[in-house]
């Protein structure tokens, strides 16, 4: 016979294990990302010097990612470039989230503002991301600032739509209608009722903007419209390596590209697991 008490005793352990596993994944991903950023801070661009005695060397224990056509260590350049990409992604995602929050809450004031926000979202979605980022970056003189502003002003649309839908649903609830009857202002309702209920979407949405921001920053820089050529960005490294792939120097593009892909996946994993912690109902989706 199966002991029912045994199954009941195992259920709490399974829940604890799932939560512990989720927290462990979040901790490891954040630790890796923070270590990359910290290491990039300690790497001075002037230290990435040329050495023509070791040009185009394949990966080895001395040079894990090999060396490039100027004898520079590719591992050092890749870490420096990843740190720069993460910093740009962080700034862009935070600015994008701020834009999304402002527009979503403005739309909750009345129907006319909401119609304008919906039209504004559709307008930005009708323009390709890459084209809009390039135009904004060029108009601001390029560089890290231009790319950051360009990426930020093109990645707020999805989060704005999610927040608008959540706020509309909350506005139809009884406690919001009761607050309106008691004469509470829309600002008070937004601060006391709406914001606490959408904070999960804001946090998760901000984190999930990271990988998109990093990929678009690398894409624009790869095309030559982003960061300056002297900066060790991943997009610049990949663009420069294209000239040497035909000569068999495969490591120049493989390792930086894989590193960028891993960083994007880490952000995606962190976002999904943080969503499980903040919104337990999504853990079974």
Tell me how far apart the alpha carbons of residues 91 and 85 are, in angstroms, rounded to a whole number.
10
- Residue 103: give its domain's CATH number: 1.10.3720.10
Mean pLDDT of 205-222: 86
Q: Are 176 and 189 in contact (CB under 8 A)?
A: yes
- Whether 48 is in a domain gets the answer no
Query: How many structural domains compose the chain?
Result: 1
Domain that includes residue 185, residue range: 23-39+72-284
- Whether 31 is in a domain gets the answer yes
Q: Counting beta carbons within 10 angstroms of the beta carbon of residue 24, is it exposed (0 to 12), middle (13 to 18) or buried (19 or more)?
A: exposed
Say whether pTM exceeds 0.85. no
Q: Each residue of 16-56: pLDDT tens digit?
A: 566 787 788 888 888 888 898 898 888 877 767 777 888 88
- Whether 148 is in a domain gets the answer yes
- Whether 65 is in a domain gets the answer no
**Selected residue with higher pLDDT from 61 and 15:** 61
**What is the token pair recorded at 184?**
């509470």
- Position 99 scores a pLDDT of 92
- Whether 47 is in a domain gets the answer no
Q: Residue 8 — pLDDT band, cuts 50, 70, 90?
A: very low
Q: Each residue of 129-151: pLDDT tens digit?
A: 888 888 888 888 878 888 889 88
Q: Are 88 and 214 in contact (CB under 8 A)?
A: yes
Tell me how far apart the alpha carbons of residues 277 and 266 are, in angstroms, rounded to a whole number.
17
Say whether pLDDT at 264 is over 80.
Answer: yes
């Amino acid at each position: 016979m199966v002991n029912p008490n045994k199954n009941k005793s195992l259920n709490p352990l399974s829940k604890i294990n799932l939560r512990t596993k989720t927290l462990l994944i979040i901790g490891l991903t954040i630790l890796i990302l923070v270590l990359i950023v910290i290491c990039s801070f300690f790497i001075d661009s002037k230290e990435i010097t040329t050495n023509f005695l070791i040009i185009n060397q394949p990966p080895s224990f001395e040079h894990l990612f090999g060396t490039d056509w100027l004898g520079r260590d590719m591992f050092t350049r890749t870490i420096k470039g990843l740190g720069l990409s993460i910093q740009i992604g962080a700034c862009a995602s935070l600015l994008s989230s701020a834009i999304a929050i402002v527009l979503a809450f403005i739309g909750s004031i009345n129907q006319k503002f909401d119609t304008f926000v919906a039209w504004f979202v559709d307008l930005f979605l009708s323009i390709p991301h890459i084209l809009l980022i390039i135009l904004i970056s060029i108009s601001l003189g390029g560089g890290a600032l231009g790319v950051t502003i360009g990426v930020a002003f093109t990645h707020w649309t999805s989060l704005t739509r999610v927040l608008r839908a959540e706020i509309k649903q909350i506005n139809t609830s009884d406690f919001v209608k009761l607050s309106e009857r008691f004469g509470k202002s829309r600002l008070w309702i937004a601060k006391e009722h709406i914001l606490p209920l959408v904070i999960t979407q804001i946090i998760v949405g901000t984190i999930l903007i990271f990988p998109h921001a990093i990929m678009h920053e690398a894409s624009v820089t790869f095309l030559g419209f982003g960061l300056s050529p002297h900066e060790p960005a991943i997009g610049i490294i990949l663009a420069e390596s294209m000239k040497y792939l035909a000569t068999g120097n495969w490591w120049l593009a493989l390792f930086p590209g894989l590193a960028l892909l891993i960083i994007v996946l880490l952000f995606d994993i962190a976002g999904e697991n943080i969503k499980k912690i903040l919104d337990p109902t999504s853990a079974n989706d």
